[in-house]
Amino acid sequence: MSVDELDLRLIAELQENIPLTVDPYRTLAERLGVSEDTLVGRLQALRASGKLKRIGAVLRHQNSGYAANAMVVFKAAPDEVERLGGLLAESPLVSHCYERVPCAVWPYTLYAMLHGRDMATIETFVHSFVLEHGVERFEILRSEEELKKSSLSFF
């Protein structure tokens, strides 16, 4: 599938905030001068071709009352990473969770980004989690300052 002028204009629109309307796809379609069905069809084609991965919301957690943030790293056995990661991902405090290859000076294999109203909430969750699941080694890496928060922009 080749990308044409309409696709490029659609991608440029999607790089910005999606309209806060009852029917955002209709609003986008109107901006682009096409029908809503055409717009949705283009989105589906872009997704099917692998050119569009997803459309998602970005929560500015500091503005929503979640002032504490920490990356928590766990040393998990290879046969436990997927199970523990799944359990972490179920928590509303966890925004993302993933596996990394350890190295000699940094043995952690499981990483989770946690957000809470305060650091005590995060620490309580982590300490309960490691006790319940027998994780012996972990570190809580507290966010001190957010240096950049921007989406990738092609245009």
Biggest CA-to-CA distance, the chain: 58
> ∠ at Cα 129 (119, 109), nearest 5°?
95
Write the class of the CATH domain 61-142. alpha beta
Which residues, other chains included, contact 46 with Cβ-Cβ below 8 Å and sequence gap of 6+?
A: 1, 3, 7, 10, 11, 52
Note the pTM of the prediction, 2 decimals.
0.63
* pLDDT given for residue 18 in this prediction: 86
**pLDDT of 48:** 93
How far, rounded to the nearest angstrom, does the alpha carbon of residue 49 sit from its chain's CA centroid? 22
> Is residue 97 within 8 Å of residue 91, measured between CB atoms?
no
| pLDDT single digits (tens) 65-94 | 677 899 999 999 999 999 999 999 999 999
Which residues of the chain have a pLDDT value below 50?
none
Q: Where are the domains of the chain?
A: 5-48, 61-142
In this prediction, residue 19 carries a pLDDT of: 87
